[in-house]
Amino acid sequence: MQTIKNYINGELLEPFGKQYIDNYNPSTGKVYSLIPDSDERDVELATKAALIAFPSWSAMPKDERSRIMVRISELIEKNLDRLAIAESMDNGKPISLAKTVDIPRAASNFYFYATSILHYASESHAMEDTAINYTVRTPVGVAGCISPWNLPLYLFTWKIAPAIASGNCVVAKPSEITPMTAFLLSELCIEAGLPKGVLNIVHGYGHKVGAAITAHPKIPLISFTGGTKTGAEIARVAAPMFKKLSLELGGKNPNIIFADCDFEKTIRTTLQSSFANQGQICLCGSRIFIERSIYEKFKIEFVERVKKLKVGNPADADSKLGAVVSKSHMEKVLSYVDIAKQEGGTVLCGGNQVKLDGEFADGYYIAPTVIEGLTYDCRTNQEEIFGPVVTLMPFDTEEEVLVYANSTQYGLAAILWTENLTRAHRMANNLHSGIVWINCWLLRDLRTPFGGVKSSGVGREGGFEALHFFTEPKNVCIKLK
Ligand code: TXE
């Protein structure tokens, strides 16, 4: 059985406590590797290594840092197949998805920030002929990066790449539920010649390793993606220490479909935005609002196609859904189907665990589920389920659907389907959301700001926003006379 190691000061190390956590393959329900159960001693060692590496890494010319990062990006591409298989085994997602989305995006994250840093300039403000101000941006020192299990390498690298590109050193913690590709990344960083201590990866539980990173006095910045409750806990600990915080949290995103949409495109993309990655993407559109005049037509067509989505072995090319990430998560998702029924919902398809044969008999599979007949303000429509479960609701007017869409505590993404340009702009303006996709979903330009409002988080990632976050601006004012 493979034993994962921490990556500290350029070396692959056992945890201090020599304790390990079982790592499950969700597609089979079997333990297949061991994860270091690290503690604050490992975080301390990693932080020391990062502090020692910081002066030379931050002083290294940008193009040298950039070249090392490009090498990491190329190594991720070279290892695409191996990483995709590992991601699928750890997370349960179809290999085809890991191969086309997760791993290529991890390579892009490194490439994008390796090159962004070369174009990152600071501002200057002239006060006519009195004075000139210029802004100097310096890295903060050691950045703490904590990431979740749903898009493991994709979200892990989305934090690490801008952090190290802008000259910081990092202590990072991947989710203890999906640690494998972060471990493989540490091997690739060694191969790419990343100087020791620049990136340190400490594996283990959130309440031990994550909490130690959050509370560490020498880590002045935390970038976190995960659940809203965990985000609140991190903010509670970090706020009195005045740490810089970026929190990417949950979502309960509306998918609003007007009668004048391009029907075929809408249905096709809605299948994706509902069930991609088994619905375990914070950007999935789990509340589908449909203008009443096309409600029945949409429902019949959509449910017919959902029933055809194959739930199966993640290695099969025709599996559209693999396993959800863990047994407890499967139970949580299915408990929401019960809640939906109690709230008066009708399950149009799915709603159950899927039992596969042979070695997959104990895997965590859920049939893609569509529910109707619920009010917009019931628990099913307000709480994040984070699984392959969507609800359908009719609406009559723009005003009404805006109330429904904006009614949750979340505000991460919204999806809008209409061919009416004026309405599209009007709606986009009125949606309480960090991202609005019109006639598309998950179309990402890495230069754009990424993040949410309300309980979906604080701060923005992406493009220069991330480079701003990982640096401290200093204004220098020079009087001219
Ligand atoms: O997230 P957690 P989980 C949502 C989704 C899901 C729920 C819980 O609703 O069902 O969150 O998922 C680390 N101090 N999202 O349990 O617990 C933890 O080890 C510091 C939304 O995975 O928030 C992991 O590395 N760190 C989401 C990371 O935080 C702590 C993606 C995320 O774990 C910690 C995933 C602590 N006290 C889940 N406790 C999205 N928005 O993309 C845990 N961690």
Residue with the nearest Cα to atom 4 of ligand 1? 227
* Region 427-436 average pLDDT: 98
Q: What's the pTM value of the predicted model, to 2 decimals? A: 0.97
What's residue 158's pLDDT?
98
Q: Does the CB atom of residue 233 touch ligand 1 within 6 A?
A: yes
Q: Does the CB atom of residue 386 touch ligand 1 within 6 A?
A: yes
CB 389 within 8 A of CB 336: yes
**pLDDT tens for each residue of 207-263:** 999 999 999 999 999 999 999 999 999 999 999 999 999 999 999 999 999 999 999
Q: Does the CB atom of residue 452 touch ligand 1 within 6 A?
A: no
Active site residue 282: yes
Task: Select which of 145, 169, 189, 248 is catalytic.
Answer: 248
What's residue 345's pLDDT?
98
Question: Residue 258: helix, strand or coil by DSSP?
Answer: coil
Substitution site in 39, 156, 175 for ligand 1 pocket (most atoms within 8 Å of beta carbon): 175
- How far lies 56's CA from each of 162, 195, 217, 294, in Å? 17, 9, 21, 62
* Domains defined for the chain, CATH in brackets: 2-249+456-479 (3.40.605.10), 253-445 (3.40.309.10)
Two structure tokens written together for 333:
């998702």
**pLDDT tens for each residue of 358-391:** 999 999 999 999 999 999 999 999 999 999 999 9
DSSP code of residue 276: G
Confidence of residue 456 (pLDDT cuts 50, 70, 90): very high
**pLDDT tens for each residue of 206-223:** 999 999 999 999 999 999
Atom of ligand 1 nearest to the CA of 281: 42
Cα of 177 vs centre of ligand 1, distance in Å, is 10
Active site residue 187: no
Residues 6+ away with beta carbon under 8 Å from 132: 124, 125, 126, 477, 478, 480
What's residue 299's pLDDT?
98
CB 451 within 8 A of CB 434: yes
Cα of 228 vs centre of ligand 1, distance in Å, is 8
Cα of 67 vs centre of ligand 1, distance in Å, is 32
